[in-house]
Amino acid sequence: MVGDRGGAMGPEGARGTASGGSAGPAGEGGPEAVVGRHPVGGRPDPHTPSPAAVPPPGERPVTAAGAGAAAAAGEGGGGADVPPGNGGFAQVVAALRAGRRFALFLHLSPDGDSIGSTLALGLALERLGKRTIWVGADLPGEAYRFLPGGDRFRLWNEVEEDWSQYDAAILLDCADLDRVGPARSAIERIGRIINVDHHPSNRRYGDVNYIEPSAAAVGEITARLIDALGVPLDAAMAYGIYTAILTDTGSFQYENTRPETLRLAARLLELGVEPQRVAQSVFEQRPLRVLRLLREALGTLEVGAGGRLAWMTVSRAMMDRVGAQRGDTEGFVNYPRSLAGVEVALLFVEEPDGRVRVSWRSSHEVDVSQLAARFGGGGHARAAGCTLPGPLDKVRVQVLRDVVRHLEERAASGGPAPDAGRGGVAGREERP
Ligand SMILES: [Mn+2]
């Protein structure tokens, strides 16, 4: 199916673990920005008292034509339509302007949004004469090597860097600091974080945070940041941004695809992006083992709750049989989701350590980020994830029972009124 590859991991975003509690309530739809404890750019001044405390999640800070609008007007924004009330956007732009050395971090099992956005912003910062390094605990998969600059990513622990020399760590598409995995220790040594994301569950762990849940991909935000920095988008950056958007929208199929998404895509094509090149590299280079694993997974397809629930299971044994690698089940959950009449789709994947990763999707009514949050996970309204201690059978029974109860309650309470908290980004790829 088109677009089921999506992007290696991201959109569920929140790296939900039963212990970690990365969930956070799914925020309301509107963009929000929260500025953290101290500004990025210069060293934090120990004499400056901490100004703004972080508002509780979901509470919308600064309103109206505040800093965001000012930034749009003042930053030479090349048509950037910065949402009103987003002081965080201007703060991010200021921090990017002020710093001279930046380390950009991919999230674990980086997806097209993480890779493409990081690449585009990294190139733009270099255009401004800044030094950047692009690292992660996992390298981009084969599918993304075609990107101009795609060979510049490094494993964080294989570069010899004095992290304390960096002005800030930039994290894109990371709802939770745990999303960077062990690279977190480098970020802690850098000491300052710029956090730009579109997951409503983002935990606002940065010193500067800009969270825009209505953005289809962080790639959209990245394009506006580059405009606001006054850097002309070139073809290489355009490839990164296009890949970010293509993967996070499921090839422009999901409900997060907005008119501005397509206008941006058109602009990227005008800059030289060849869409068939991206689609072919990202979606049509699957190794044989992945289709073999899919064949096994489809054999486990089951349906419940009167046809409104469907799920598949990938056990460790199945993965061993085909020689599967991390990330090979990406997009599989879209098969149960594609079944007519299905409202909630689940994929259970047994991890090497015995834990069970659950991918959640919904078609158009149920907010699965809320359901996943009951198990310590999170994500978007239409795509979420959580990870639970095994064994597989126990987790499956637990989760299915909960979902069936939820669907029955909805049916009993008068049927398919959409869950509160829409705004979600539709069924995008995941991997908590
Ligand atoms: Mn994303």
Q: What is the pLDDT of residues 114-167, one digit of tens each?
A: 999 999 999 999 999 999 999 999 999 888 999 999 999 999 999 989 999 999
Tokens of 74: 């003042």
36 with 85, same domain?
Answer: yes
**DSSP per-residue string spanning 393-417:** HHHHHHHHHHHHHHHHHHHHTTS-P
324 CA to middle of ligand 1, Å?
A: 24
Same domain (yes/no): 271, 334: no
φ, ψ for residue 7, nearest 5 deg:
170, 145
Residue 415 confidence (pLDDT): 60
Q: How much is the pLDDT for 200?
A: 87
Residue 204 C-alpha to ligand 1 middle, in angstroms? 16
Angle at 42 (CA atoms; ends 137, 90), nearest 5 degrees: 80
**365 close to 343: Cβ distance less than 8 angstroms:** yes
Is 146 in the same domain as 167? yes
Confidence at residue 56, expressed as pLDDT on a 0 to 100 scale: 35
Tell me how many domains the chain contains.
2
**Residues whose CB falls within 8 Å of the CB of residue 394, separated by 6 or more in sequence, listed in order:** none
Which one of 282, 304, 328 terminates a domain? 282
CA of 172 to the centre of ligand 1 (A): 8
- Is residue 347 in some structural domain? yes
Say if residue 396's pLDDT is above 80.
yes
Is residue 114 within 8 Å of residue 12, measured between CB atoms?
Answer: no
What confidence score (pLDDT) does residue 430 get? 39
Same domain, 242 and 334: no
CATH of the domain at 309: 3.10.310.30
Distance 50 CA to ligand 1 centre (A): 30
Whether residue 255 is found in the same domain as residue 354 = no
Say yes or no: 265 and 349 in one domain.
Answer: no
Residues 231 and 309 in one domain: no
275 shares its domain with 292: no
Tell me which residue of 219, 220, 156 sits closest to 188, measured CA to CA: 156
**Ligand 1 centroid from CA 121, angstroms:** 14
- The closest alpha carbon to 367, from 81, 85, 48, 23, belongs to 23
370 shares a domain with 324: yes
Question: For residue 87, how far is its CA from the centre of ligand 1 (angstroms)?
Answer: 21
Task: List pLDDT tens digits, range 178-207.
Answer: 999 999 999 999 999 999 999 988 999 999
What local confidence, expressed as pLDDT, does residue 327 receive?
82
Residue 413 C-alpha to ligand 1 middle, in angstroms?
A: 34
The model's pLDDT over 338-379, given as tens digits with 9 standing for 90+, comes to: 999 999 999 999 999 999 999 999 998 899 999 999 999 988
d(C-alpha 246, C-alpha 252), whole Å: 6
Q: What distance in angstroms lies between residue 47's CA and the mean position of ligand 1's atoms? A: 37
**Entry pTM:** 0.74
Please check whether residue 8 is in contact with residue 327, taking contact to mean a CB–CB distance below 8 angstroms: yes
Position 419 in a domain: no
* Ligand 1 center from residue 212 Cα (angstroms): 11
Domain that holds residue 135: 26-282
pLDDT classification of 95: cutoffs 50, 70, 90: very high
CA of 7 to the centre of ligand 1 (A): 9
The domain that contains 88 carries what CATH number?
3.90.1640.10
- Distance in Å, CA 11 to ligand 1 centroid: 5
Mean pLDDT of the region 88-102: 97
Tens of pLDDT, residues 201-260: 899 999 999 999 999 999 999 999 999 999 999 999 999 999 999 999 999 998 899 999
